[in-house]
Amino acid sequence: MSEFRGIYTLWKREVLRLVRETSRLVSSVVTPVLWLVIFGTGLGVSMGTSAGYNYQQFLFPGIIGQTLLFTAMFMGISVIWDKQFGFMKEILVAPVSRLSIFIGKMLGVGTNSMLQGIIVFILGFFIGIPITFIMTIEIIPLMILVTIGLVCIGLIIASVLDSLENFGVIMTFVNMPMFFLSGALFPVATLPDWLKWVFYINPLTYGVDAMRAVTMGSVWHTILPLWQTIAVIALFDVVAVLIGSYAFTRTK
């Protein structure tokens, strides 16, 4: 019981902080809008609608994936902030297990990135994505599934690092490659074989792929059958949660 209360209070802290930092929420919406409206329109015009869908429709799930990725990583890494500014100590000496701390943090960060992902999803309505009720109830669980693994990556990195000096390095070597090599911006199927495998080992590739299946319907052909794609994401989540909780229980 007390463990649940610990998880709840850690989750609540993240949500309170999110609500307080409205400027961050606003700025985090601006980036996807720029991608969707400017990049999407610009590149879309030159690409046309050859395959039965336009580029913005194709880009839209990719940008949801990007939002989930960046928020989850950024917020996951915020644990380093807690370490640096001492708040982590208060949590670590509390009579709450490390596993609960990890779960509370994961749920809190996950809520953050879900909220931003949903905002971007709603924005799709304004750029002409035909959002339906069915699509909404299909994509939300899928987004949750994608988020869990990404949050864990952020938390794992945070449990290893002690200072934020490496933040830029993480952006360069983790965030950007994961984004560019996920098929968020262009289809994987038409790539040369030597490049394809890099996409196939990126968990976000499957997340974006599955979300495309939901928002674009039958015009989109997933890399693997949809259930297998979802299975890959779920498997990745399980592994990430296990590694994350292990890394967290060992953190000082």
Partner 1 sequence: MTYMIEARNLTRKFGNLTAVDDISFQVEKGEVFGLLGPNGAGKSTTISILCTILKPTWGTALVNGFDVVKNSSQVRKSIGIVFQDPSIDDKLTGRENMVMHGDLYGVPRSQMKSRIDEVLKLVELEDRADSYMSTYSGGMRRRLEIARSLIHYPKVLFLDEPTIGLDPQSRDHIWSYIRELIKNEDITVILTTHYMEEADRLCNRIAIVDHGKIVAMDTPKKLKDDLGGETITVKTRKNELFLEKINEAKIAKAAAIVNDEVKMTVDGAASLLPAVINIAAQNSIFVESISVQEPQLDDVFMHYTGRALRDGKGKEIPPMIRMRRRA
Chain positions contacting partner 1, by CB under 8 A: 1-2, 5-6, 8-9, 12-13, 16-17, 20-21, 85-96
Indicate the residue among 126 and 162 with the shorter CB distance to partner 1: 162
Provide the minimum distance between the beta carbon of 28 and partner 1 in the complex, in angstroms, as a whole number: 16
Indicate the residue among 6 and 62 with the shorter CB distance to partner 1: 6
Q: What is the DSSP string of 111-134?
A: HHHHHHHHHHHHHGGGGT----HH
Provide the minimum distance between the beta carbon of 80 and partner 1 in the complex, in angstroms, as a whole number: 15
d(CA 60, CA 197): 23
Q: What is the DSSP string of 93-107?
A: TSSS-HHHHHHHHHH
d(CA 53, CA 128): 12
Tokens of 222: 């997933």
Provide the minimum distance between the beta carbon of 134 and partner 1 in the complex, in angstroms, as a whole number: 38
Q: Looking at the chain, which runs of residues are DSSP E strands?
A: none
User: CB neighbours (10 Å) of residue 218?
Assistant: 7
Indicate the residue among 13 and 196 with the shorter CB distance to partner 1: 13
Provide the minimum distance between the beta carbon of 107 and partner 1 in the complex, in angstroms, as a whole number: 15
Provide the minimum distance between the beta carbon of 181 and partner 1 in the complex, in angstroms, as a whole number: 34
Dihedral angle sign, alpha carbons of residues 198, 200, 201, 207: positive
Indicate the residue among 83 and 212 with the shorter CB distance to partner 1: 83
Indicate the residue among 4 and 197 with the shorter CB distance to partner 1: 4
Element (H, E) at 213: helix 203-216
d(CA 223, CA 225): 7
Give the three-class secondary structure for 1.
Answer: coil
Provide the minimum distance between the beta carbon of 241 and partner 1 in the complex, in angstroms, as a whole number: 22
Indicate the residue among 101 and 114 with the shorter CB distance to partner 1: 101
Rounded-to-5 percentages of helix, strand, coil across the chain: 80, 0, 20
Provide the minimum distance between the beta carbon of 73 and partner 1 in the complex, in angstroms, as a whole number: 20
Indicate the residue among 91 and 178 with the shorter CB distance to partner 1: 91
